[in-house]
Amino acid sequence: MITGYYADGKTSARVAARLEVVTQAPAIVVLWDTDNNTELQRSDLADIKISSRLGDTPREFMFADGGLFVSPQNQQIDTVLKTLNSDNGLSLNHRLESNIGLVLGSVVLALLFAWLTVTQGIPRAADMMADNMPEVMVDQFDQQMTVLDSTLFDPSNLPDTEQERVRQLFQPYLDQHSQLNPKLHIRSGIGVNALAFPGGDIVFSDELIQRAVNDEQLVSVLFHELGHLQHRHFLRRTLQDSMVVILLLFVVGDIESLDMVMGIPALLADLSYSRDFEREADLFAMQQMHSNDLDLDAFSTMMLLLSATEEGQDEEQGEYKSSEYNFGALKGFLSTHPKSEERAAMVEEFKAGL
Amino acid sequence: MADQDQSVVSGQQADVSKLSVEFKGNGFEYFQIWIVNIVLTIVTLGIYSAWATVRNKRYLYSNTYVDGTSFSFLAEPLTILKARLMAVGIFILISVAGGISPAFSVMFGLALIVGIPFFINQSLAFKMRNTGYKNIQFRFSASYGEAFKAIYLWPLLGMLSLGILYPLAILRGVQYRANNTAYGTTNFQFNGTFKDYAIVLLIAAGLGIAAAIIVAAIGQPLGAIISLLAYLAVIAYVIVATSNLFYMRLQLKEHGFDSNMTVLGYSKTMLINIVLIVLTLGLYLPAAQIRMIKYVTSCITVHANGSLDDFAAAEQENVTAFGEEFGQVMDFGI
């Protein structure tokens, strides 16, 4: 005998009820109103939709006419269903879910899968997609700087002569990469920063130009930004981020219920991609510095100069001035850019490999 | 697992008017279900995800009790799977087409702006249609115009009036959701006012300004941390104040609701969740969800004025899951 309550589906009233098996084959059950001892339902077990066991949540028996019997007595229900040899309402899931070894195995498998997908699968897929996309028309980005100028940037405050000097300095290197269609813009309002946008717009801030001690350091930053363009980082990051969201949707099921919390894994993946792209751009910069016979140390000196700046001011997250907060060990994990020491070490490694 | 053998029928107690909302699930149990679902989803190349969604949601709904009776999640996995495949297909099509021709992206963007109110209506209808309590389903039904006004028109007026009408925009949004929702044939009624929301926003603005003054006085290094904390505190305040307001001003016939969430309680729950999720590489997600639900439900009470037994069922209706799934893929879900 299984006890619970019955709701007929017409009103929200519920009555205490008990379910009894009348005959074994065919399996016929009767549902009794416990208080009045009247018959509520009589049905073949096969015609009842019984919910599968799920943790310790109450089981639901949906009768053909929409009446619902609910009981929390999972153990008894399973026993009764087994003796009736019915697989109605008995699912494999609960057995899997309550097997600790299997759960632990699932954890390992899920972590391994997530790791491989996020670090290998998605970046490769995005790479392939980016390579197979037609060259995006240049004029599509014509309006880009106008929009950015009216929102993010302020005009440069550097004297015209200084701006012209930087342009002259960069011109030969920009010409080397004319297939990327790079255009230099000097602006302020973004702190010590340099940014590259799809379509070829490269923005240097006044503050960054002033911070550099020599020209080679400035050129190293330019090459880094050209690296972002060369490897289509903007497009690939967008593609990768949307793939992470789709993956999360499929794997976790719903991302809406706790948007703020569910966003964290996606954010961590995005930050990890960002750091990979920075490394790729760094490598590009070093190769270019080398092939142009420029001093590779200028690049690492620039990194150190910029990280010294980071300590001092801490307002906006940007290309070089990453949003690093003091979380100790978590610092690297939560940052858009690799640590400056790591980037300087990369230079040494690169030099050793020459 | 031991069965709870006590009778589920708690008896008719007409004199008791304050019914607590109880969540009986636990984090580890949900984790077991969740992780097995994930592995089955991976093994089936994503097909199982619809069954996983149903199983996860069923766990959350079936463990939420009001007056000793739990809610039910009623959606069929196949309905969700069909909609999900369609939504992802369209999303991929749009991404690829947008990469080939930017003009297509613009066209699609415009179509989406027109479509969003329709999809949000559909998504809410799907959610409500698949929520049951005492074998009576919830319903949501709103016109396109109502959705359009709540989603675009009022927020726009709020901005154009430099925030003066913003409380009204929030109020209209909540009214759109609440007043178009029904339990069976009985509509909910939201009695909040412009003044309610104006007070919340004024306090939030006041907190923000106070924090800004303190930050300016302290100076940069420490100020950055304080402004981040203040920012989070203001967000927590707005979330807590508006959801308390929602329940306090909500009515279902002669029955009322109450909620006493606190900024401290909410922030504590949120912070613990965030830290544990980061430390466990996301494995804490399901337990975090449970922790938050437990906190929120523990703060809500139903003020039953007499019996909750006489709600009548609405007519049968079918709602596709497309709006819901599309909303999640395109990230305009609410």
| Token reading at A325 | 């907060």
How far B86 CA lies from chain A's nearest CA (Å)? 13
Q: Residue type at A339?
A: K
Domain boundaries of chain A, sorted by first residue: 2-97, 114-352
Q: Find, in chain B, the residue whose alpha carbon is nearest to that of A329.
A: B279
Fold of A2-97: PH-domain like (2.30.29)
Planar angle of CA A338, A340, A344, nearest 5 degrees: 110
More confident residue, A169 or B6: A169
Question: pLDDT tens across A267-307, in order?
Answer: 778 888 888 888 888 888 888 888 888 887 888 787 777 76
How far A165 CA lies from chain B's nearest CA (Å)? 34
Distance CA A133, CA B97 (A): 10
Distance CA B297, CA B299 (A): 5
- pLDDT at res. A333: 57
Residue B153 lies in a domain: yes
Residue B150 lies in a domain: yes
- pLDDT at res. B6: 39
CB contact under 8 A, A251 and B38: yes
Q: H-type helices in chain B, by residue range?
A: 27-43, 49-62, 77-100, 102-129, 144-148, 154-160, 166-179, 194-218, 220-248, 263-279, 285-299, 322-330
Could you say which of B35, B184, B273 has the minimum Cβ distance to residue A261? B273
More confident residue, B259 or A178: B259
Question: pLDDT tens across A97-130, in order?
Answer: 888 898 999 999 988 988 888 888 988 888 887 7
Chain B residues near residue A97 by CB distance under 8 angstroms: 32-33, 36
Distance CA A234, CA A230 (A): 10
How far A224 CA lies from chain B's nearest CA (Å)? 25
Distance CA B177, CA B242 (A): 14
How far A348 CA lies from chain B's nearest CA (Å)? 32
Q: Pick from A278, A250, A275: which is nearest to A114 by CA?
A: A250
Question: pLDDT tens across A243-276, in order?
Answer: 887 777 666 655 454 455 566 777 778 888 888 8
The average pLDDT across A63-84 equals: 91
How far A44 CA lies from chain B's nearest CA (Å)? 21
Q: Residue type at A163?
A: Q
Query: Above pLDDT 70, what percent of chain A?
Result: 83
- pLDDT at res. A128: 83
Q: Pick from B144, B143, B141: which is nearest to B125 by CA?
A: B141
CB within 8 Å of chain A, chain B residues 162-191:
183-184
CB contact under 8 A, B136 and A60: no
CB contact under 8 A, B32 and A313: no
- pLDDT at res. A332: 55
The average pLDDT across A217-240 equals: 84
Question: pLDDT tens across A6-21, in order?
Answer: 999 999 999 999 999 9
**pLDDT at A232 > cutoff 60:** yes
**pLDDT at A140 > cutoff 90:** no
Could you say which of B60, B135, B278 has the minimum Cβ distance to residue A8? B135
Residue B63 at interface with chain A, using a CB cutoff of 8 Å:
yes
Chain A residues near residue B288 by CB distance under 8 angstroms: 258, 261
Domain extent at residue B209: 192-240
Residue B273 at interface with chain A, using a CB cutoff of 8 Å:
yes
User: If you average pLDDT over each of A238-242, A325-329, B270-274, which comes out highest?
Assistant: B270-274
Tally of domains in chain B: 2
CB contact under 8 A, A4 and B328: no
Could you say which of A13, A109, A253 has the minimum Cβ distance to residue B53? A253
Residue B49 at interface with chain A, using a CB cutoff of 8 Å:
yes
Which of B179, B207, B230 finishes a domain? B179
Could you say which of B58, B134, B220 has the minimum Cβ distance to residue A7? B134
- pLDDT at res. B260: 95
CB contact under 8 A, B311 and A71: no
Residue of B8, B133, B228, B277 to mutate for A, most A C-beta atoms under 10 A? B8
Could you say which of A60, A75, A261 has the minimum Cβ distance to residue B288? A261
Residue of B32, B84, B329 to mutate for A, most A C-beta atoms under 10 A? B32
Helix (H, G, I), strand (E, B) or coil at B205: helix
Predicted TM-score (pTM) above 0.80: no
Residues of chain B with pLDDT under 50: 1-14, 333-334
The average pLDDT across A39-47 equals: 91
How far A14 CA lies from chain B's nearest CA (Å)? 7
Residue B77 at interface with chain A, using a CB cutoff of 8 Å:
no
Residue B152 lies in a domain: yes
Residue B90 at interface with chain A, using a CB cutoff of 8 Å:
no
- pLDDT at res. A308: 61
Residue B322 lies in a domain: no
- pLDDT at res. B15: 55
- pLDDT at res. B104: 78
